[in-house]
Structure 1
Amino acid sequence: MNEIQTRFMFRLSLEVGAHHVVGQSPISSRRIAPVAGGTFEGPELSGIVLPGGTDWIIVDPAGTWFRMDVRLPLQTNDGELLVMAYQGWRSGSPDALERLGRGEEVDPAEYYYRVACGFETASPKHARLNTIVAIGNGWRLPSGPGYDIHEVL
């Protein structure tokens, strides 16, 4: 069997602004969270999250899951620009997700938070990122979400 292996890329910490609550539409309960900034730090890739990212969130009416669709502009410490896009799920008991929603710290073992990531760049130095798949484990702090991002080898 060919088992999947990963390599740590970076820890991503986001600062999220006030959500724009669209509400219950015919398609879903939707909200949009602007990403104001943040940082990413790893052994080969570090930098800042530029303002302008957004997190388009679908929320289960029962309060047991969130579906995220995120686009972030990143600037590496060497001045190169990247786009990071990821989709994922945060699910758990209504109690755990309600506490997260109130801004409380909740042990990540109490909920599931995973993302699948891709990158886009015009930088020759970082061109290999255009063709990799990455995954991440997430957690939610009162200041915003965080992720440990791993390249799938």
Structure 2
Amino acid sequence: MDTLASEFLFEMAIEVGAPAVIGPNAYGERRVVPIRGGRFTGPRLSGRILPIGEDALVVGAGGRTLLDVRIVLETADGAAIYVRYHGLRTGPEAVMRRLAAGEAVAPDEYYFRTALIFETGDPRYAWLNDLLAVGIGQRPPSGPVYRVFAIS
């Protein structure tokens, strides 16, 4: 097969805390941001994001940001789902400065994509263990928001 198809899974809004700035390293400035909670809603699963996990960012030249995130979803019917994803947020330097300053920036002014992997022991959601998903992100001042799609 040489084509990709996608299926919308859910939209999630993540609440984050204040970052711990580790400082500059060979790749940029390391920041670790605690996950405080959030919600996700979609046609096949909905629920809350537990206040567990972190977003370990590396912010490089011009505001280019690499994401390394771990979160736990709890579905409305009580299943626990571990999610890890990596991503990239980048765009024109002036736009990235506005994002860093906490301004509201239209999502079409920058690029923000993630690749998600799921783990769960709940048989109702075991299908998640066998797929890769892609998130299309935006970063409003309230915290990151993603539309997540299963890739087949």
Asked if the contact 2:15–2:142 (Cα under 8 Å) also holds between the matched residues in 1, the reply is yes
Q: Which runs of 4+ in 1 moved over 2 A?
A: 25-28
Map of 1:57 onto structure 2: 57
Map of 2:143 onto structure 1: 144
Alignment TM-score, normalising by the size of structure 2: 0.96
Map of 1:88 onto structure 2: 87
Map of 2:101 onto structure 1: 102
| 1:26 positional shift | 4.2
Map of 2:47 onto structure 1: 47
Taking only aligned residues, the RMSD between alpha carbons, in angstroms, comes to: 1.1
Determine if the alignment matches structure 1 residue 112 to structure 2 residue 114.
Answer: no
Structure 1 CA distance, aligned partners of 2:27 and 2:98?
26
- Percent identity between the two aligned chains: 43
Q: How many residues align?
A: 152
Structure 2 CA distance for partners of 1:91 and 1:27, relative to 1, 3 Å: closer
Structure 2 CA distance for partners of 1:3 and 1:26, relative to 1, 3 Å: closer
Letter matched to residue 104 of structure 2: E
| 1:25 positional shift | 2.5
Structure 2 CA distance, aligned partners of 1:36 and 1:64?
24
Q: Which digits, 9 at most, give the CA deviation of each residue in 1:55-90, with x for residues without a partner? A: 000111x22410000000110000010001110100
Most deviating of 83-92 and 19-28 = 19-28
Letter matched to residue 77 of structure 1: A
> Which structure 1 segments of 5+ residues have no match?
none
SS of residue paired to 1:9: strand
Higher share in helix: 2
Letter matched to residue 129 of structure 2: N
Structure 2 CA distance, aligned partners of 1:39 and 1:148?
12
> Which structure 2 segments of 5+ residues have no match?
none
